[in-house]
Amino acid sequence: MSNLRDKAIKLINQYIKNENLKKHLLATEALMKALANKFGENQETWGLAGLLHDLDWEMTKDNPEKHPLIAVEILEKEKFPKEIIEAIRKHNHLQGLNPETLLEKALYSCEEITGLIVAIALVMPSKKLAEVTVEKIMSKFKEPSFARGVNRDIIKKCEEMLNISVEELAEICLKAMQEISDRLGL
């Protein structure tokens, strides 16, 4: 599976130029691996779904309803496992597809929180994840004017889809992101 990760990194470098988007993908990979660990699932598979979920973002940003259809085509052509492709296919709520597997539900409801955590880190005096706390995340989560682009309604779905609270998700995500803070530049 590690050669699949190498292939994923090659695809990311081919299709994505924005460094912040690459960091979002790394953060989502870390979060998904941590969630896989919590649920006793395959960390490599879940991590790859997180790493590749926005592969076509730069190509579809002006037509968000087409995201992630181009990524799905690329990943099918590259012969990535079906469960990864399906999770990516279903992660954009604008597609109107219902996530069914645990992997699909996790990617759908959880990846947005990485953006909130990055935004919080960037307003800290040190601009570092080490300074971010779960309490700070929960406080900013309740402030809709902060990090406006983060869809809190989607994040809240972790409660029904995964049976974990937003607070537990924040704790899992923060810890996962702190572990790769050097790669995130935070």
Sign of the C-alpha dihedral computed for residues 137, 124, 50 and 2 taken in this order: negative
Q: How far apart are CA 112 and CA 94, in angstroms?
A: 14
Query: 59: which 2 tokens?
Result: 């190509």
pLDDT band at 128 (very low <50, low <70, confident <90, very high): very high
* pLDDT confidence of residue 1: 54
* pLDDT confidence of residue 94: 84
Q: Give the DSSP per-residue string, 29-98.
A: HHHHHHHHHHHT--HHHHHHHHHHTTTTHHHHTT-GGGTTHHHHHHHHHTT--HHHHHHHHHS-GGG-PP
The predicted-structure confidence for 46-70, as pLDDT tens digits, reads as follows: 999 999 999 999 999 999 889 999 9
Question: Residue 93 is part of a domain; what is its CATH number?
Answer: 1.10.3210
* Domain, as residue range, for 8: 2-184
> Where is average pLDDT lowest: 62-71, 81-90, 121-130?
62-71
The total number of structural domains in the chain stands at 1
The whole-model pTM stands at 0.96
Instruction: Report, as an integer, the average pLDDT of 11-17.
Output: 97
